[in-house]
Structure 1
Amino acid sequence: MPWLHTVTLLLGFYLISDINLALATDPVDLGRSIYEKGIGRDGREIGAVIHKSISLKGAAIACIGCHGSDARGGGEAFVQAPDIRWLNLSKPYPARRIAASSMSYDQSSFSKVLRTGLTATDRRLDPIMPRFDLADDEINGLIVYLGTIDQPEHTEQNRLIILGLLPKSGQNTLADALDSKLKNCPTTENGSPITAIDMLYFDTPEDAMIKLNNRLSKNMNALVLAPFLLGWEQQYVEAMQHNNVPTVLPFSVLNPPDESNWVFPFPGLESQILALLKSAKAEGYMQLRIYSEPKNSLSTKLAAVAAKMASTYGMLEIINNSEAIYQKNKIAILWLKQFDTDQINQNSLKDELALIPAIFIKPSLAIGNFQGDSLQKKYIAYPYNPKIAGSSVWRTPIDVWAGAVCKFLSLVGEKSISRNKLPEILQWENDFFLYDKPGLDLLSNQVFIYKGIKYLQ
């Protein structure tokens, strides 16, 4: 099951080691350098090929030479250079040369045309257009710069910028997959442009905040979209307390911390626990036993949260292992460590109900396939419905998060929304929706509970 195979990856981000911090080139500055001088990251001369075989470097292939200082293009000799401002390229029907395609560009198709000369509709450009040797972050910087190139300096502070935060490539498999998805958001059905993300790649959480604060110092009219916060949620919140910048669709296993400006969060582990406790109480379970991992700080924190919820909501009485065998009431077990079927077989009673956030299930196990399990019932909590309706296909967390982000990017491009006027509900596909700033109860109501039942033989 796709979600279950990500457990160790989700927790693995907590183990990122400290390394020397180094500020990367600002995406706007990087894009300007490529556009005006043909100089890329770390001062390297960008290489390119024209007429299929002629290799050029640096200033000889700088975009400014043909497209002009304002990127509006124009004619010179026999060359007609188009307007390549990003606002124009990403329009549903941007102005193009006669017989040119009316399809808009997104980050994926723009990368393709720069590297191969093939347009969004696979039309081959004139061979005088260079085929560039550009890395992903260099292309992203060029897109960001093309989005600001015709803006007067005094209006820069009024332009909404969308920032992303992801670990550098190779540090986390989930983050790499999310990055790939966000670079390939599909074009919307009505042709709405997909707004580009100014992605900041970091080594450590400390490095992430240095890069983010450096970018925000130039323009506070921003929002942070889909930052990868696994394992450093509280550190991020504390670092962002000095500003009012929204954090939209955070990639986190925990709920939005109190007083945070998080928008459209998925239900975190706290709301998943509450949803499981509510389900147990609705089934008539009166007592709760909690399995946690004493040496795991996340597990022990969640155990304390669960005990407080059980008391605050008047749902279940907390009991320990030695008491359990003498109780006649139905007992629920909340698993806040890796689910262990061997432990279930040895210590559990016939009427017990296992409550399990999906993150604590072994990747090798699948719902409805707990061999040798003596429990009758298992309730498993997900932050979204993991199964496509009427299908046997299981959704991956990356597909779901990326789908929400791409939908948000299309809304920004279509409606030109501001950070102070975000929609109250984000809805995509047919059965997914998120609220802008939900509380704990509302988040818990969004949790999907899979009720896996296995009767004893």
Structure 2
Amino acid sequence: MRALPLLLCALSCAAAASPTPLTPREQAGRRIYFEGESPTGGSISATLGANVRLPGSAVPCVNCHGEDGSGRPEGGVLPPDITWTELTKPYGHVHPGGRKHPVLEDRSVARAVSEGIDPGGNRLDAVMPRYSMSWEDMSSLLAWLKRLEHEREPGVTDSALRLGVVLPTRGRLAELGQAMRGVLEAWCAELNASGGIHGRTLELVIAGYDSDQETGLASAQRMLGQEPVFALLSGFLPGAEKELAALAEREALPLIGPFTLSARKDGTPERHVFFLLSDAGEQARVLAEYAARELSREGTRAAILHPEDEGLAGAARAARARLQARGWKQVELLRYTRGAFNPALAEDLKRKGTRVMLFLGNDEELAALLEKARTLGWAPYLLLPGNLSARAAVRAPALFQGRIFLAYPTLPSDEQPRAREAFSRLQASTPAAEGYRMAQVSAYTAATLLTEGLRRSGRQLSRKKLLGHLEGLYAFEPGLVPPLSYGPNRRVGAWGAYVVTVDLAARSFRPVTGWMELPDGG
């Protein structure tokens, strides 16, 4: 709202001495300020120049004055600061260009908003709209302006910024949780020792849970009810990833870099969640594309095996669609119940002449399949998302030499020396690091991403501002993973994968492709 800015610029009002819940009138005024819409169902319109009339929602106050009321430069125009301290200056105001006027009161503010005239009888800048709204809505707007500078985002004080981290601290996943926690706490301590970010130290609020008895969602909900936090950082909630994302959306709570096997490229349903790397679904598509390019000479009969899991079933369908789009007509989908995988199905696949198999099971299931294949003397080309069953893959029977390919969202070659050194320094302080490097890399990368977003957001911090700056990141290099890019409809930073093959003798991996990022829907 641009007319409001100036007119507001002279508001005389009483402000709350300390943050308290918003009154109904303040809530109504907040909506007008942020959205330009009337909570009463009335009409709010804005007139620009001589006769250009727009709905108020096209030019809400926040567009120019910002979420904190301090004014946001736009197109060479610097809207005035409309915080309470500025508006109630007893000696009035002198604006750039020499325009002067005495202190404003509620009625003179309303006149400035609606007519574009300040208390000195001066006409406001021509870029300032004149707003038409009911007196009830105007009163609500003024009530919000009186409250504006005393509003703070949850978890933010003058000296500190609190971040929530949900991790397993008990049960079978406790060591993994401890490994991630150690890196995050070391990052936080190191950052605070250097002065924090924009004068604020960072505080981690750990919401722990027992991975043998719960998913961690209840722990996250308890934390949000007891400890207001500005954002959720990293974290690991297997089995409750979708529920956590839904919680972040409901609470308008940024969730930065959760360690997950399930990510969505489309940011529309999960605007507040920023994933780091591609999930098994995209890795499966990359593997299908690799097979179409490199293995067609083996015939185009393929099978895709997946457990009864919504995410992995979607990955299987996406991979089949990719193969079919590339001319493979005989692609069979085989679903099985998790925990009840029957390796005997290898006999049927061999009989059918299946030459290529994409397997979306876990290590235990893959090991059983490989052993059955060994007894049959059958070695189809095997395609695997690396984060599902890599341990079993490197222990495959010798007859699979040169016939196993895995997709990974990151490789050691992505690591830059300075980032590797910084990560190693943080990792050294972690008691339970062995075997959990990828989880720690994820935690470190999430922390690096958040640090960049906070630094770009500046001292006047808000969740909305953070989201905007993260959305604006393009080819940002956190140092241990491929460059991360986000956008209004992109919520996975590195969307794609590498393909590697397994040297079974050396039990090592060798890249066979560079980075592969497929077009949407292709």
Which bracket does the TM-score occupy, shorter chain normalised? 0.5 to 0.7
**Where does residue 196 of structure 2 map in the other structure?**
193
Write the deviation string for residues 173-214 of structure 1: whole angstroms up to 9, x where unpaired: 1111101110111847x9573652442414343422422442
SS in structure 2 at match of 1:183 = helix
Question: Counterpart of 1:228?
Answer: 236
- Of 206, 214, 218, the match for 1:207: 218
State how far apart, in whole Å, the 2-side matches of 1:447 and 1:212 are: 35
Aligned to 1:254: 262
* Letter paired with 1:380: L
Identity in percent: 14
1:420 aligns with 2:467: yes
Shift of 1:301: 4.9
> CA 1:397 to 1:168, structure 2 compared with 1: closer, same or farther past 3 Å?
closer
**Residue matched to 1:398:** 439
Q: For residues 397 and 279 of structure 1, what CA distance do their matches in structure 2 show? A: 24
8 Å contact kept, 2:386–2:406: yes
User: Who wins on radius of gyration, i.e. which is larger?
Assistant: 2
Q: Are residue 336 (structure 1) and residue 350 (structure 2) matched? A: no
Amino acid at match of 1:384: T
Q: How do residues 124-139 of structure 1 correspond to structure 2 at under 5 angstroms?
A: none
TM-score by length of 1: 0.53
Contact 2:281–2:311, Cα closer than 8 Å, also in 1: no
Which structure 1 residue ranges, 5 or more long, are not aligned? Answer: 1-151
Q: Secondary structure of the residue that 1:240 maps to in structure 2? A: helix
Q: Is contact 1:193-1:414 (8 Å) kept?
A: no
Q: Say whether 1:378 aligns with 2:399.
A: no
Deviates more, 1:412-421 or 1:273-282: 412-421
Kindly indicate whether the alpha-carbon contact (under 8 Å) linking 1:275 and 1:445 is maintained by their aligned counterparts in 2: no
- Aligned 1:163-202 pairs, distance under 5 A: 163-167=163-167, 169-171=169-171, 172-185=174-187, 187=190, 193=196, 196-202=202-208
Matched, 1:156 2:182: no
Kept in 1: contact 2:277–2:494 (CA 8 A): no
Contact 1:287-1:331 at 8 Å conserved across structures = yes
For the residues of structure 1 that align with 2:248 and 2:449, how far apart are their CA atoms?
22
Q: Which has the higher contact order (CA 8 A, sep 6+)?
A: 1
Residues 438 and 412 of structure 1: is their aligned pair in 2 closer, same or farther, counting only changes over 3 Å? closer
Q: Residues 13-412 of structure 1: matches in 2 within 5 Å?
A: 154-157=150-153, 161-167=161-167, 169-171=169-171, 172-185=174-187, 187=190, 193=196, 196-203=202-209, 204=214, 205-214=216-225, 222-256=230-264, 259-261=269-271, 262-285=273-296, 286-293=300-307, 297-298=308-309, 301-303=311-313, 305-311=315-321, 314-315=325-326, 316=328, 317-319=330-332, 324-325=349-350, 330-338=355-363, 339-340=366-367, 341-347=370-376, 349-350=378-379, 352-361=380-389, 363=391, 367=394, 370-374=396-400, 376-386=402-412, 396-412=437-453
> 2 CA distance for matches of 1:170 and 1:358?
27
Which amino acid in 1 is paired with 2:456?
A: K
Amino acid at match of 1:427: E
1:407/1:428 contact within 8 Å kept: yes
Match of 1:96 in 2: none
CA shift digits 1:214-249 (9 cap, x unpaired) = 258x67xx3322132222112223333423322211
Deviations 1:98-136 (A, max 9, x none): xxxxxxxxxxxxxxxxxxxxxxxxxxxxxxxxxxxxxxx
- Contact 1:344/1:373 (CA < 8 Å) preserved in 2? no
Q: Which runs of 5+ in 2 are unaligned?
A: 1-147, 335-345, 418-423, 425-434, 459-464, 506-522
The count of aligned residue pairs is 292
In the alignment, structure 1 residue 449 sits paired with structure 2 residue 449: no
Distance in 2, Cα, partners of 1:440 & 1:376: 35
What CA distance in whole angstroms lies between the structure 2 residues aligned with 1:415 and 1:178? Answer: 25
What secondary structure, in the 3-state scheme, does the structure 2 residue paired with 1:434 have? Answer: coil
Match of 1:48 in 2: none
Q: Which amino acid in 1 is paired with 2:186?
A: N
Q: Distance in 2 between matches of 1:434 and 1:180?
A: 24
Per the TM alignment, residue 162 of structure 1 is displaced from its structure 2 partner at its CA by 4.9
Q: Which amino acid aligns with 2:276?
A: P
Measured on the aligned residues, the alpha-carbon RMSD in Å equals 4.1
Q: Equivalents in 2 of 1:198, 1:182: separation in Å?
A: 8
Q: Deviations over 1:317-353 (max 9, x none)?
A: 3237566445567423424232223123134644x21
Deviation at 1:435, TM superposition (A): 2.4
> CA offsets, 1:60-104, max 9 Å, x none?
xxxxxxxxxxxxxxxxxxxxxxxxxxxxxxxxxxxxxxxxxxxxx
Tell me, in whole angstroms, the C-alpha distance in 2 between the residues paired with 1:273 and 1:156: 44
